Amino acid sequence: MKKTLIIALSVFGLSSFAVAAPAVDSASNPHQWQQKHLQKMQKSLDLTDAQRQQVELIYQNAHQQHKAISDDVTQQLKGVLTAEQQAKLDKQREARQAKMKRAHLHKASRHDKQQLKREKADKSLNK
């Protein structure tokens, strides 16, 4: 029973990490991430339109399955944990989400700075 609870908590932690994170930039929004990743695959692997559609469906199905698993684990945990434990777990999840949001904001800010540097470099080369 304890081993099952540990596994469930691990799955819950991973699923909430990936699914429940608020959308801050393209890296944290599954649909935007998927589109960006598909563009990279299209370019690097020279996918046909049919292949791209199939890959897109695969990603959509995986995201739906992942969300369903996350929701199922959440419901199962509610049946196992006490109210106090559930509240503690909710606080831990909120703290993890806040940390991820800060990391995504930092990453987006760093990306913007790098983009500005590239644009300046391009302008100086074009002169």
| pTM confidence score | 0.51
User: Per-residue pLDDT tens for 82-97?
Assistant: 999 999 999 999 999 8
Domain enclosing residue 40, as ranges: 2-126
The structural domain count of the chain equals: 1
Q: Output the pLDDT for position 24.
A: 40
User: Per-residue pLDDT tens for 74-127?
Assistant: 999 999 999 999 999 999 999 998 998 888 788 777 777 777 777 777 777 776
DSSP the chain: -HHHHHHHHHHHHHHHHHHSS---STTT-HHHHHHHHHHHHHHHHT--HHHHHHHHHHHHHHHHHHHHHHHHHHHHHHHHS-HHHHHHHHHHHHHHHHHHHHHHHHHHHHHHHHHHHHHHHHHHHH-
